[in-house]
Structure formats: C-alpha cells, structure tokens
Amino acid sequence: MVKITYIEHSGKEHVVDVAVGLTVMEGARDNNIPGIDADCGGACACSTCHVYVDPAWAGKLPAKEAMEEDMLDFAYQPGETSRLTCQVKVTPDLDGLVVRMPEKQI
C-alpha cells in the first residue's frame, strides 16, 4: 500500500492507502473521494478523472501517452501538471503522491 493525498478544490485533504497495481483513479473510487467522477470507468475515454499533480511529483510519473494527451484536451482547465488518474498506475515509488482536483469535471 502507498499513501496518496487527494485534495479537493475546496482544499479538503483525503490521505488514503492505495494498493500497488491499482490506478490513482481506482484509489479515489474505492475510498469515495469526491471530485473524481471516472465516468468511463478507467478506459481513458473521458476526462472526468482529471487532476493536477503536485509539482514536486510531476516529473516522477511516467510520461503521458498520446491517448491521455488527447483526452486532456477535453478536461476542465488542463494545465502543465494535468493527468488523468485512470492512466497513472500506483507503484511503490508513488508513496506520498499528492494530487489536486479541479473545480469541476467535464
């Protein structure tokens, strides 16, 4: 298990344990974290699991694949550290990861 901190747009933090091998989106879903809708269930077919990765972590994640880049075009106010949580697999190296939710998911 690794600890991931999910921060709602309001600033409320949720620190949860997520099993290695799941995605960051599945960790949010399994822990009832508000702000990550995951409408497509993790198929990278929507942008409703969009987050901003804390800048300290942005360079530590695997590179975005083309499909994720394309779907981020549909996210609400994507930024430099935007990621789709369905595309980020949890590994031991992500222990302590911090992600922030946008104001809304579209």
Q: What is the pLDDT of residues 40-63, one digit of tens each?
A: 999 999 999 999 999 999 999 999
Q: Please report the beta strands in the chain, taking only residues with DSSP state E, as ranges in sequence order.
A: 2-7, 13-18, 50-53, 82-84, 97-100
Q: Can you give the residue range of the structural domain that contains 70?
A: 2-100
Is 28 within the bounds of a domain?
yes
**Confidence tier at 104 by pLDDT (50, 70, 90):** very high
pTM equals 0.96
> What's the Cα-to-Cα distance from 96 to each of 5, 19, 102, rounded to whole Å?
7, 13, 20
Number of domains the chain contains = 1
> What's the Cα-to-Cα distance from 100 to each of 43, 66, 87, 103, rounded to whole Å?
21, 22, 16, 10
Is 105 within the bounds of a domain?
no
